[in-house]
Structure 1
């Protein structure tokens, strides 16, 4: 079993997809970007900091702790969750008809080690009609999503191309997660940790 320090239903769905049992735990950290911090360093630091915070909260956890952070990047600007409709519209204007990056970092804290891995993907949007942007905001789907959209949701109809990890764009890169699990002794045949 893994302790998942995330309330994201998408991350939970992805863990179920690959047959990993998990229990959700709550951690809160300051997610502010540091001055002059580049996006790659930011997502890795967030995943790592969440893992350390979870370990401090739980003490000597007997199970691996999994944390993750996902950011949408356009022109080296980190697009977080939209603060309001105006912020959302600015994000959509930046993303419409262009390619952006999605960085998704995972951290596994187990015993005395923390393993951090980052997935980098590119997503290309077609032009987004103003009517769609308005209707999409009204669904509330964009409100809690990095970059203001969910690749597996209504925005899918305007995604021309992706390069990289679909699960990473959703918020939990499964290839990188599998690599990290093997590094800490995950036995795939018995679905247990050695």
Structure 2
């Protein structure tokens, strides 16, 4: 059993597809506080921010904590997550 530190239904679906038991506990980390335009740095800083928030709230003694982040890029621009199909 692990704690998924995300509200993402897609990440939950991935764990379910691999028969990984988990508890889903998303946080409130504000990604808008990140100023970098470098995709790799952005994803790292977002993941670290989420981890720090949820580690303080839940720790890792009861369940290992899994956090991650993803971004969208096009034409060397950091677009972040898509807000709609367009």
TM-score range, shorter-chain basis? 0.7 to 0.9
Report the secondary structure of 2:62's partner residue: coil
- Cα distance, 1:60 vs structure 2: 5.2
Q: Unpaired runs of 5+ in structure 1?
A: 83-141, 143-147, 150-194
Count of aligned positions: 84
Structure 1 or 2: larger strand share?
Answer: 1
Q: Per the alignment, in what secondary structure is the counterpart of residue 70 of structure 2?
A: strand
Larger relative contact order, structure 1 or 2 (CA cutoff 8 Å, min sep 6): 2
Task: Identify the residue that residue 75 of structure 1 maps to in structure 2.
Answer: 75
Report if the CA contact (8 A) 1:38-1:76 is conserved: no
**Alpha-carbon distance in structure 2 between the residues aligned to 1:11 and 1:60:** 19
**CA distance in 1: counterparts of 2:39 and 2:60, whole angstroms:** 31
TM-score for the superposition, normalised by structure 2: 0.82
Q: What is aligned with 2:65?
A: 65
Contact residue 37 and residue 78 of structure 2 kept, 8 A: no
Shift of 1:47: 1.1
**2: CA distance between counterparts of 1:26 and 1:61?**
18
State how 1:76-91 maps to structure 2 within 5 Å: 76-80=76-80, 81-82=82-83
In the other structure, the counterpart of 2:41 is 41
Q: TM-score, normalised by structure 1?
A: 0.40
User: Take 2:51 and 2:72, find their aligned partners in 1: how far apart are those partners?
Assistant: 21
Provide the residue aligned with 2:9 in structure 1.
9
RMSD between superposed Cα atoms in Å: 1.9
